[in-house]
Every structure is written in structure tokens, then in C-alpha cells.
Amino acid sequence: MKTIAAVVGCLALVLLGCSPAPVEPTSVTLLRVPAGGIQPRVVRADGTLHLLYFVGENTGGDLFFTTSTDNAATFAEPVRVNSQAGSALSGGTIRGGEIALGADGRVHVAQPKGPLNPAQQADSPYNGTPFLYAHSDGQGRFTEQRNLMHYTYALDGGGTVAADGEGNVYAAWHGSAPDSAPAEAGRQLYLARSTDGGESFNEETAISDAAQGACGCCSAHLFAGADGKVAAFYRTAREIENRDGYLLTSTDYGKSFKSSMLQHWQISACPMSSASFSEGPAGLFVSWETDGQVWFAPIDIESGKMTAEPIAVPGDPSSAAFPGVAAMIMPGSEVTVHGIGLNPTRTGLLRTLSDMGAGADVVSSGELTRALKAGVPPNKIVFSGVGKTTDELAHALKEGILQINIESEPELIALNKIANSMGQEAQVALRINPDIDAYTHNKISTGRSEDKFGIEWTRINDVISRAYKLDNIKIVGLAMHIGSQLTKLEPFKEAFTRLKSLAKELRLKGYEISRLDLGGGLGISYDGLPTPTPAEYGKIVKDVFKDLNCDLLFEPGRFIVGNAGILVTQVIYVKKGATRRFLILDAAMNDLMRPCLYDAKHSIISLVEPKEDDILDRVDVVGPVCETGDTFATEIDLPAAESGDLLAIRSAGAYGAVMSSTYNSRSLIPEIIVKGNNYSIIRQRITPETLINYENLADWSP
């Protein structure tokens, strides 16, 4: 039999890029500068941040480059990119630039420059605004800037640059042809390619539709991937009230492009900020802004089309730091996402999510340490949990995290005492217990009056009044989490409505409620049955909180990673019992606890290539541990299996490996993260021999 999955050893947890997939940005906006819509650009590679930023007014200024190797805590001495000695085109630029990293470590920078003076125009075959390019030499210096245009001239919008892993560099800009150019060459999007790492570029070619034109006041945007994949984004330049966004994709290194319209707009003015591409395990994504609205969509570069309807994200584009869960908020909302949390698991996985902008919701000092080690900024960490020790509270204060969610009055008093001893003021949200049933499993319901979590919502007025009298406590908001794996939306709406009403009441009394932590809980499908979508959840968030004007935090941990993990296991024996047929696996309840602990049902599939005449067997899928509870599924239909066959237990990405144990002195299985055709072991197999090394005999033992 031919297997269709590769594993390390016989038993492993594999984390895959499944929907909803995390996205690894190649370029993100760090901040927004009001003057002229100019934005700094940053890319990250091998732990180093490469930052390009503009200093000056909209009519002129300079472009600077710097790096950071400690998550933006400190930066190297900036280098002025557009004032290199000997450059005839050095000097002021009218707008910011774009940055890309090549496979050889070169930093590629492209920027527009103000219109040439008459003397420069006399010696140039072009007119108007040149489009300049330079790259670094690996020593912090940049090559002399040069103009990339031949017969086009740029308008006032500039362009962009992108690089792949094969030495190709692409530059694109909006331009118009001079009078000597063919009549059909109007305002279009032009592309030039270098095959030698930016040393030289071919003559530019128009890649947009001449009949549409290309909006000159909106920058072009590029993506360059492996095997000749190139994508570009532009807006049409037709009448100001009726512009469309277009996607161009190529699979032959930009020699030919497919075109498709992303979305139609009715806008009153051309927005200055535009779009960006990002690539993750699930493919390529594009996000763009129009008239204050941010959109996000997955695309298929082969067909050049979106593979799903665009998702709308409200507010500042820089708030959409984690597009994989952007559907949590719906269009028209005034809510801004300032933090998106994830219950920490493995450092390797956390690093991937942190690089994409995710924060962390931690419930122990160990999780806090793990999140920080993975690169999660302290100002994106929330500490929750009913039993935080004094050492843990001190740890949180020392690290300067965003907030501590307080769940009882004794904890509030203890935190004030610790903060006072450390000379600090603790940023606090009071977690309320709204007394609302989440209609989920009893063991993961957290919002009922009989549950241990939070402060009774009817007592919040008294507690916040006492809190305001504590010298080292600063109340910044309220928090709530009513349970996990919710498959109905009604409890969310009921709980959110109660939280909003309480926040408004407290504000009327003069208390500062600027932030609400809505927790998590949105369920995923384990058995193929439909569950509420993020868009449906987002509509409730919008409807309830749209007029509250406060920051919201979310912790959609299971939704992010649940369906991204599988448990790969091997059949040891096929046993025929008196009334049942058993597939006995090398995986056990200590590897995946959910079926035993929560009566959870996980989809199980065979990883053996099926035959045309395969029949289905009705089987119980069980582990080898000496408990009847060590059962993954009962009476399910699977293709006929035999010893040595591989199975995958799906949706094991959440509450899987993190709840595993060494029960029966079994090994802790390895964890493997997969990206495309590559994989990496992010936790080694931990054997009984390793564990025994941490054990000692009693001093009095012979």
C-alpha cells in the first residue's frame, strides 16, 4: 500500500496551514503619518526588522533606512538612502518609498522624486517625476540611485519594488507616455524586471489595461514569489467617482499577466494608502483600503482571481495586523482591533503567529515566559486566570504587559500591594461573570454564576469603587469570557449586550472604560457539522459595540489553530471482538485528551491511498492505554485497514499537545510544523529515559 503522508517516527502531531490560515506579511505598516499619507515600511527576516521611513513634508524630504535585531527595542544608526554621494538624482523626494528583501540579503528600495528641474530635463529622455531605485551592499550602504524609466514619466504617486528568492527584482509604477509614444500608451501601470539582483533592469512594459488607465495618486503594489509568480494591484484612473481595484497575476516572471477586478468602489477622492500582499501556508492574500475601509481576500495566482469574497475590516489598516481572523469584525463598525490573543502552545508556532501581529492571552507565568521568548511584545499580552500567584503578578508587572484581568477582590488587593512594593501602577481590567450559559460542554463553560471565573456582574459597581481608591491600580476596562467551543451565537449576543450596558453605566458614573476584552470561544467544526462563521460573529460585535467608541480585544485561539493541526498515528493491530471491530493505535489518551475528557468527536481519516474496490469497515478507534476511556471514536466507517497503516485524527491543533502527558510512562510525541513542502520539528520526542533523568531516589533509599 502507498502512503500519502510523511511523518517523523510513527506518531506525531503535525500543524498544517488549514483554513483559517495564518498569513505571514512581507510588508506591514508600522504607523500612519498624517502629512500626505506617507507611511513607513518594514520587513522582517531571520529576526531582523528592516525599516524604511520618510522625514519631511509632502513636498519634499529624505528617505532613511535602519534595522533592529531586538524586536524594535533599539535601532541601528539610520542611513539616508536618497542622498548618496555622486548621485545626480539625490536630494528631496516628494513622498515615501517601498522596501523589499532579496534572497542574498540585499535591501531593495524604490521611491519617486520631485519633478526634475529644467537643466535635468534637458539631459533626460523623460519628463516629470523620475522613479528611483537603489539597493544595499550588505554593509549598511546603498548603491547610487538611478532612474528606472525609459520613455514613461511617473505622476505624483510613485510605485513599489519586490524581490523573490531567485535573484529577480521587480519594480512597478504608474506612468504616462510622452508625446512621442504610441497613441494607445496612456496612463498605465508599468513593470521592469532585474534578473541580477538589481544591478540592471529591462525596459519597462505596460501591464495594465490602457483603456482603463491607472490611478496616478495611488501607489502600485507588488508581490514576487517562487517559480516566477508575480502579482500586482492597481486602481483604474477613470472618473473620480467610479474607480475599480484590479489584480494582475503572472506565473512566468512578469512576461504575461491575467487580470481580474477585485472590487468596485464609489468614492469621492483617491485614497493615498493602497494595498499589500502577504503569503502564508494557505496561499497568497491581498489587502487594500478604499475611502477608509480595509478589505482582505485570498487569491489564486494561477487563475488571477479571488477564491473567496473580500472580508471587510474597519478602521486604520495598521490595526489589521492579523488578517487570518480579520472576519471577526464587519464593515461599517467603528471598533478598532488593538490586540488579538492566542493561548500560547509551542514557541515555534507562537513565533510564527507573533511575526504576523498576534498577541497572547496567558494564564500562567510559564505561558508569559513562553510568549515573550517567542517574540510577542509585552504590550500585546493579557494575563488572565483565577489563581494568579503573587510571583506571577510580580512577573507580569516586571514585564510591562498590556493588562492584568482581575477575577476577585482578594486578587485586586494583592496586586495593589505588589505594585506598590515595585513602585508601579498596574493596568487592570475587571473580568465580569455575566451569569450566562454558553450552551457548551459543562467543563468549558465559564460564564455562569456557579462557575469559578470572574466577579459577579451585579457587584462590579462596588468593586470598581473600591479599586479606584487603591493607589497602584489603574482600571482601564472590563473583560469577559463565557466559555469555549461555542456553536451558537445567542450567548455571545446576550453576554455582549450585558457587558455594553455595564460599561455605559460605569462611564456615566465617571469611571474610565476605554477597553473591553471580549475573550474568545468561537467554536470550530470537529465532525463536519456547520458552526457559526467569523462573519456572523463579527456582525454581532458590530451591532452591539459600534457606538461605544472603545478598544476591543479578542482571544480566538481555538479558531486560529484548532483546524490547523492533525495527530498522525499508526495502526498497531486490527482486533475482531465479539460485538465490535477495533483499530488499536499507537496514539493514546495521553497524546490527545479531548475525546476522553470532553467526549469530543474528532474526524478521523486514512492516510493510505484508497483502492477502487475498497470497502468501509465499521470500527472503534482506540488507544493502547489500560482504560476504556482511551477511545477516539466508536462505530465509525473507515476504509479497511491493516497493521502499519497511518491515520490522521483531525482538528487536533487546539488543546491537543498542550494537554498531553506521560501517563503510563509513555513518550511525549514530537510536534512538526509544515509550510508548503517544508517541515520543521518544533518539539522533539521526549522519551521515558529523558524523564527518568529528572527523578531521584529518596535520601534514605539503599
Count the Cβ atoms, other than its own, within 10 Å of residue 155. Answer: 20
Nearest Cα residue to 564 out of 308, 366, 363, 324: 324
Return the C-alpha torsion angle 680, 682, 687, 689, nearest 10. 110
3-state class of 427 per DSSP? strand
Q: How many CA atoms lie within 13 A of 596 on its CB side?
A: 19
Q: Is the peptide bond before 178 cis (omega within 30 degrees of 0)?
A: no
Q: Is 690 helix (H, G, I), strand (E, B) or coil?
A: helix
Q: Are 267 and 241 in contact (CB under 8 A)?
A: yes
Q: Where are the beta strands (DSSP E) in 195-229?
A: 205-206, 221-224
Backbone angles phi, psi at 442, to 5 degrees: -55, -35
Number of neighbouring beta carbons within 10 Å of residue 8:
16
β pairing state of 336-340 and 360-362: unpaired
Catalytic position from the list 10, 18, 215, 626: 626
Q: CA-CA distances (angstroms) from residue 551 to 81, 298, 547, 593?
A: 37, 27, 12, 36
Q: Which amino acid is at 552?
A: L
What three-state secondary structure class fits 319? helix
CB-based contacts of 78-85 (< 8 A; 24+ apart in sequence): 79/140, 79/141, 79/142, 81/52, 81/109, 81/111, 81/134, 81/142, 81/145, 82/111, 82/113, 82/132, 82/145, 84/134, 84/141, 84/142, 84/143, 84/144, 84/145
446: amino acid identity, one letter = T
Q: How far is CA 299 from the centre of its chain?
A: 17
Please tell me the distance from the alpha carbon of residue 249 to that of residue 96, in angstroms, as a whole number: 25
* H helix or E strand, kind and range, residue 633: strand 631-639
User: What length is written for the chain?
Assistant: 702
Known catalytic residue: 626?
Answer: yes
Going by C-beta distance under 8 Å and a sequence separation of 6 or more, which residues neighbour residue 124? Answer: 116, 130, 147
Pairing of strands 551-554, 515-517: parallel
Beta strand ranges found along 177-328 (DSSP E): 188-194, 205-206, 221-224, 230-235, 244-250, 258-264, 275-280, 283-290, 293-300, 305-306, 311-313
Which residues does the annotation mark as catalytic? 626
